[in-house]
Structure 1
Amino acid sequence: MTTTAPVNTPSKTSVIPLHTLLEQYAITHPEIKSDKNLDIDLDLIERAYHFSEFHHSDQIRMSGEPYMVHCTQVVLTLIGLQLDAVTVAAGLLHDVVEDIEPVTIDQLAREFGDDVAGLVDGVTKITSLSFQNREDRQAEYFRKMLMSMAKDVRIILIKLADRLHNMRTLSYLEPEKQQRIALETRDIYAPLAHRFGMAQIKSALEDLSLKYLEPDVYRDITEKVAQKREHRDQLIKEIRLPVIEALKEAGIEATVKGRAKHFYSIYTKMARREKSFEEILDLLALRITTESLRDCYHILGIIHTLYTPVFDRFKDYISKPKMNMYRSLHTTIIASNGEMAEIQIRTRDMDRVAEVGIAAHWLYKEEQIESAGTKERRDWLSEAIDWQTDMADPQEFMQYLRMDLYDDAIFVFTPRGDLQELPTGASVLDFAFAIHTDIGLHCSGAKVNGRMVPLGSKLNNGDTVVIMTSTQQTPSSHWLDIVKTTKASSKIRAWFKKAALPQSIALGEDLLERELKRLKIKKEMKEGLKAIAKGYNIPDVSRLYAAIGRGEYAAAQIAQRLLPDEEVPKIASPKKSILTKFVEKVCGSTGGVKVRGLDNLLIRFAQCCQPVPGDPITGYITRGRGVSIHRKDCPNIVEDLERRIAVSWDVGKDQSFLVGLKVYGYDRTGLLGEISKTITDSNINITSAAMKTVDGLADGQFTIEVEHVKLLERVIRRIKKLKGVDRVERLSSGNEMSDDVFDHLKEAET
């Protein structure tokens, strides 16, 4: 039986001696039958040890320890995972290129071979990134990590061992850095260890993250777990001894061990169930390891005979493994004193895989055979690399990475009986994209277990799914609301970006041209757009137009950047700015309205009905806010004749007014662009535009500047003629209480 170096051993204050590491390597690698092969491995590790020791000799960590302490602790973890000598040597050397200027990858290749140099290079490339923005830096860091992992999975194993020791010495850093590193560890590194089935490292990283993210909670849980140790040990003994006796009588060889659950596991149970520590009954876990699969199910029957099982807590991860290929039987039993305990039953091979994950399937050992578990993880890596290339936005990338790392699995069948793995909560549409991107993009319907179902229907374990496709079918925006998998979501988004690109470019260019004309920016100044695009990390000017057309950047924002600083004060806009118009409406001489018999009154336009020149209007004298101007058909006009006042339009030549439009119709590609073009072709400025779609229906809202109601009515008629538009309405908040009504009610109450 092999021994594994515990991953939760605290950091030592001295360097682990070379002979200790070599002894551990020999103990944990009994599969190396040849003394000659073992000597070759040990020689490589010894040379790497001395090289690292020499080049790190003058370096001290923040903890005050020699830097070599970190290198040897990382390697102790790698040896415990039973990784090969090349990985161990790379672990000793993982920081020399980054930290020691004269040392190069070429030098390592000459000294230790291409494999060692390749691993060190992969680790170095991940860490040596420089970005102005922390989000960009973090996203690019994990992109590089994914790419490196796909090239050689041993790189991530070194990074996990490196992060584990860094977390153990985190107390020596500033609190702000502690929080940032602990959060990144909890959200990315621990789930990554989980994804690769490395339960030991995952649990250690989660516990250490909790220590810094929730220090009070961590302290409280550790103290209470320690206080219950005697009671826990007694309960383990009471459960364990009858089990051992029953297994002996049945002639089953097995090992039975008990332990308290990890601190982070206890914390999540408390948070999820909204209970205190004292109310959590299942804080105890026993693990039974045996030789054969048959024995596992036999032991399960014996356990359920000895103790009362909690049936809704039974899980068979042997017949249906988790996405990280974890396999085990889980059952929860009620002990004689009424407390609950979880019991895990698995073979010794399953136990090894559960603890060290992908390292147990390692491809680089003597047999060179790829296991099913390793293939599953490589498939996930390939998919992750595929969808990450479609995501330029750092926040979006990090969101989907976290989501993809956390998901557990269900298994569904194709019509031919092939098994397809999907995350829990996946829909029919997710299944279609999992089969092939083209099938997903043209999915028109589906049958689950022989029955027609909507595309958003959630799948369950064991479902058989038939997908129907049509060349006429293309993605709808509401598909993004019903898919669960990162692959499906990224492919749908990519399709929309590609399909809408020409319309977005045309719309963006038109909006920018109008803004440039308004600001009287000369044609030759447009050359500056290339520099602006580069500044936003946009590849070319056409993509910048597309970003404006999609609403990611305002045309005014881009146009202002074309103006030289010294020219800004000289610009005289042919139209007044929205802010100027608003101020004039509130405080100006007339604000476009005459009040009969009175001058210099404060004028404000009611937002509930948004009157524009040509609308029949009336005035209402408010308390402290002057005269409020309403359309005569506004439902918010207060029936208080003493407050009413006659008003009429008195509009200047260049004066325009804001008005909102609601457009209802059927979703189709390019609809937003056509509506916007119709408005701008009518020589009307758009100050804001938004459109959302639900189940094929489109709902758009536009704010525009018009000079007269006739112009407004004309553009409404033109929009109504567009294909897919059902109706167009002026925006009003007739259902909301206006300030005038509120004032009137308050006075009545008084």
Structure 2
Amino acid sequence: MALNLEIKDKERTEIRKAYRQLLLACKPLMEAADVDLIRKALNMTRMHNPEVARNEAGELKVLESLEVALVVINELGLSRVAVMGALLYDTVVDGSVSVDEVERTFGKQVALITRGLVKVSELYNKGTSIQNDNFRKLLLTFAEDIRVVLLIIANRLRTMRNLALYSAEDQQRISSEVAYLYAPMAHRLGLYNIKSEMEDLVMKFTNREMYSFIAKKLNETKRARDKYIREFIEPLEEQLKKQGLKFEIKGRTKTIHSIYNKIKKQNTEFENVYDLFAIRVILDSELEKEKAECWQVYSVVTDKYQPNPSRLRDWISVPKSNGYESLHTTVLGPESKWVEVQIRTERMNEVAEKGLAAHWKYKGHKGEKGMDEWLSNVREILENPELNAVDFIDDFKLDLYDEEVFVFTPKGDLRRLKKGATVLDFAFEIHSEVGKKCVGGRVNNKNVPIKYVLKNGDHVDIQTASNQEPKKDWLNIVVTSKAKSKLKQALRDIEYKEAEIGREMLVRRLKNWKYELSDQLLNQLVKAFRYKTVQDFMRAIAIDKVDFSRIKEFIIRLDKKEDETAEHDKERSAEKFVSGKDTLPDDDVLMIDKSLTNVDYKLAKCCNPIFGDEIFGFVASMGGIKIHRKNCPNAIDMHTKFGYRIVKAQWTSGSDTSYQATLKITGVDDIGIVTNISQVISKELKIKIRSMSIDSHEGIFEGTLTVFVDNINSLTALIRKIKNIRGVYTVSRVGA
């Protein structure tokens, strides 16, 4: 009882602390009436959703709401509407307070946000995969108010920071969602700090071994890095002070995730990654002097240190499409080390850290108008119900600072398009039906093709034809988000209609042959004729790419070989790489969901799980279950795309089974080193070698070794033994 009271007292202290922090953060940005509304929102939350209400990790929901609200105001720079939406979220989701009641008390904007958040919650309650077709509903919710997107990102960031409290399964699921959707989305919105922290936290829970290794290395080298940064900065500070500039210089260590990417990309060791940190100069400049003073700092830096001309990035003159402004250069510092230097003002730095939302604080600045137009574009694009999450991330570009082209309609109306837009883009800008029927245009009274690139001041008249239909290669002609979205939808409609015609033709022909079209037969036909999807196969029938005589021949062969095929499929239900065996052992090696034994399963070749590995099952499309390691390279993809097909799995016994494992080894290309490795494996450890291949280049060898081991302990002992052989650099398991 005393323990429960202690925990409860501690949690109440945390609630009071977070509440005070929130009020303190809100006061500079809001009027007294706004702060009163925030107090009212929290009181409503506590009244209808008592402190004892907890989330799936056991945390108090009231505390969770307060902490999300703190992220919203401190790290996203949003104001009272978003803060109240964060505080009211759980109360509205669980039905304690209606959206109508929220609207009466807090206004239409807060109600709009809470309504959008409720829709998102409903999607997750249904277990919808983020790549499922129904997930487009989430994007339709986004279109109502951009703050819904930002609140979801704030919620996911707060969840990632507390992910250690969740179960192992939830950690993998949430990490997969964040890696696939929310970190890239934060990047698109210019939220670089949040994107970087999300990536680091995802790595912490999905690749903990490498995360811990890099974190340890960074800690070990911190003193040397700090010393180098001080030596680099001191002469710059002296010169900048002499020129009367107001500034701050910081040394920033790069994120663990970015360092890991460099190690992989450069195929090198941690010690060989030279650009582990960046120097950032932040100026206190007036708006009209920003550009000049940034270049003044650049001059000081390059006078002191030799610059690399190919590494100059000027995002001040032409900012990135998501609003990012900064001047980057790489210079040769002390000890002949390359150092990245970033130069920006306080305003630019806040935009870089808080993304597009930071523009809202700068009234009268060009970003405010651009934000409104950008929000309008978001709504317009997301009105398309077929647009999915991948299209949003891959196709949608923020147009805030892109160069633009202004053209006139035949009636003299001025239209603004992205620079590089074509006649076809203009046609879709007028109307999607005009775009679909476009055959060309008249620009300045001259006939031009649909791919003609528009110039400022052009007078454009679109020409259409009733028999014209959109074509796939048009995607290479259009450049605007609206045209791409509408064109993709039109192409999907055409393909769907053709596929329906093909299905009717196939059903009719099969009926004549006394057959029915079953899902099994359809899948076999798609595979046999080598089409990627059922729709592609049906379209091929409709446009006479598949001959019905070949389909009939295939079905006849299928009938004759049905028994033989069934037996063949049964034999394939287990992998045949187990040492000296063609079938799985009689006793259970795996237990699925703690209740199923003797199941039809395979050990996945992409990661080759062995006894002792943490594993999960994946229901294959052709039946049976594939067993993967939890850190399989394909795990995140499977969790995000096919979460409903994931099955819990664990080993029950090792039996006398041997498991295949592949190792990658590098070292000095010395005479006898391969012999030493093989002797340690076969003679000292009595492990059977299946295959070994060695390549050498400039005195370094790289080998791939496949062995049979009993369990993970045997493999760990083997890796340790090989690492101790003189001349061996690295030993790693393939598929990790």
Alignment TM-score, normalising by the size of structure 2: 0.60
Written as runs of structure 1 = structure 2, the 5 A alignment for 1:35-434 is: 37=31, 39-54=32-47, 55-80=49-74, 81-99=76-94, 101-129=95-123, 134-135=128-129, 139-141=133-135, 143-290=136-283, 291=285, 292-293=289-290, 294-362=292-360, 371-375=368-372, 377-382=374-379, 384-386=381-383, 388-391=384-387, 397-404=388-395, 411=402, 414=405, 421=418
Judge conservation of contact 1:190–1:206 (CA < 8 Å) in 2.
Answer: yes
Distance 1:435 1:238, change over 3 A: farther
The offset of 1:268, in angstroms, is 2.6
CA drift at 1:104: 2.2
Distance 1:358 1:14, change over 3 A: farther
Give yes or no for contact 1:190–1:202 (8 Å, CA) kept in 2: yes
CA distance in 2, matches of 1:18, 1:176: 32
Amino acid at match of 1:578: I
1:487 is displaced (CA, Å) by 5.0
Aligned-residue offset at 1:273: 3.1
What amino acid sits opposite 1:374 in the alignment?
M
Question: 1:514 matched to which residue of 2?
Answer: 509
Report the CA distance between 1:412 and its aligned residue. Answer: 5.8
**In structure 2, C-alpha distance between the alignment counterparts of 1:337 and 1:430, rounded to whole Å:** 55
Structure 1 residues 161 and 16, CA gap change in structure 2 (3 angstroms):
farther
Do the aligned residues in 2 keep the contact of 1:243 with 1:303 (CA within 8 Å)? yes
Aligned partners of 2:497, 2:460: CA distance in 1, in Å?
31
Q: Judging changes above 3 Å, is the alpha-carbon distance between structure 1 residues 512 and 66 closer, same or farther for their aligned structure 2 residues?
A: same
Q: Distance in 2 between matches of 1:242 and 1:226?
A: 26
- State the AA in 2 paired with 1:211: K
Provide the C-alpha distance between the structure 2 equivalents of 1:478 and 1:191, rounded to a whole number of angstroms: 28
Deviation at 1:376, TM superposition (A): 5.6
- Which amino acid is 1:75 matched to? A
Q: Secondary structure of 2:274's match? A: coil
Whole-angstrom CA distance in 1 between matches of 2:97 and 2:398: 41
1:151-185, CA deviations, whole angstroms, 9 ceiling, x for partnerless residues? 22222222111111111122233333322221221
Structure 1 pair 23–65 and aligned structure 2 pair: CA distance change class (3 A)? closer
Larger radius of gyration: 1
2:472 to 471, 477, 484: 477
Per mean C-alpha deviation after superposition, the further-off stretch among 117-126 and 348-357 is 117-126
Q: What secondary structure sits across from 2:143 in the alignment?
A: helix
* 3-state DSSP of counterpart to 2:334: coil
Deviation at 1:446, TM superposition (A): 13
Aligned residues: 514
The residue number in structure 2 matching 1:550 is 539
Name the SS of the counterpart of 2:184 in structure 1.
helix
Give ranges in structure 1 of 5+ residues lacking alignment.
1-11, 392-396, 530-544, 554-573, 588-750
> What amino acid sits opposite 2:308 in the alignment?
V
- Residue 249 of structure 1: CA displacement? 1.0
Q: Match of 2:557?
A: 579
Residue pairs, 1:578-617, within 5 angstroms: 578-579=556-557, 582-583=560-561
Provide the rounded CA distance (Å) in 2 between the counterparts of 1:273 and 1:487: 38
Structure-1 separation of matches of 2:92 and 2:386: 32
**C-alpha deviations, 1:659-680, integer Å up to 9, x for none?**
xxxxxxxxxxxxxxxxxxxxxx
- Letter of the 1:267 counterpart: Y
Q: Aligned runs of 1:688-703 on 2, under 5 Å? A: none
Deviation at 1:308, TM superposition (A): 1.0
Q: Deviations 1:679-720 (Å, cap 9, x if unpaired)?
A: xxxxxxxxxxxxxxxxxxxxxxxxxxxxxxxxxxxxxxxxxx
Q: Between 53-62 and 287-296, report the one with greater CA deviation.
A: 53-62
Deviation of the 1:371 alpha carbon? 0.8
Question: CA distance change for structure 1 residues 21 and 102 in 2, over 3 Å: closer, same or farther?
Answer: closer
1:413–1:465 Cα contact (<8 Å) kept: no
Q: Deviations over 1:598-646 (max 9, x none)?
A: xxxxxxxxxxxxxxxxxxxxxxxxxxxxxxxxxxxxxxxxxxxxxxxxx
Identity of counterpart residues, as a percentage?
Answer: 28
- Classify the secondary structure of the residue corresponding to 1:282: coil
Deviations 1:122-141 (A, max 9, x none): 21111112787744775534
The separation in 2 between residues aligned to 1:85 and 1:500, in whole angstroms, is 47
SS at match of 2:341: strand
Q: Which residue of 2 aligns with 1:623?
A: none
Deviation at 1:334, TM superposition (A): 1.4
Per-residue deviation, 1:246: 0.8
For 2:210 and 2:96, locate their aligned partners in 1 and report how far apart those are by CA, in whole Å.
46
Distance 1:327 1:305, change over 3 A: same
Higher relative contact order (CA 8 A, sep 6+): 2
Q: 1:128/1:552 Cα in 2 relative to 1: closer, same or farther (>3 Å)?
A: farther
The separation in 2 between residues aligned to 1:520 and 1:187, in whole angstroms, is 43
For the residue of structure 2 that corresponds to 1:286, the secondary structure is strand
Determine the C-alpha separation between the residues in 2 that align with 1:446 and 1:268. 50
Q: Equivalent residues in 2 for 1:619-698 (5 A)?
A: none
C-alpha distance in 2 between matches for 1:227 and 1:174: 31
Structure 2 equivalent of residue 692 of structure 1: none
Contact 1:15 1:66 in 2 (8 A): no
* 1:304 aligned counterpart, secondary structure: helix
Q: Distance in 1 between matches of 2:224 and 2:259?
A: 17
Gaps of 5+ in 2: 1-9, 409-414, 520-533, 543-551, 566-736
Does the 8 Å CA contact 2:331/2:340 hold for their aligned counterparts? yes
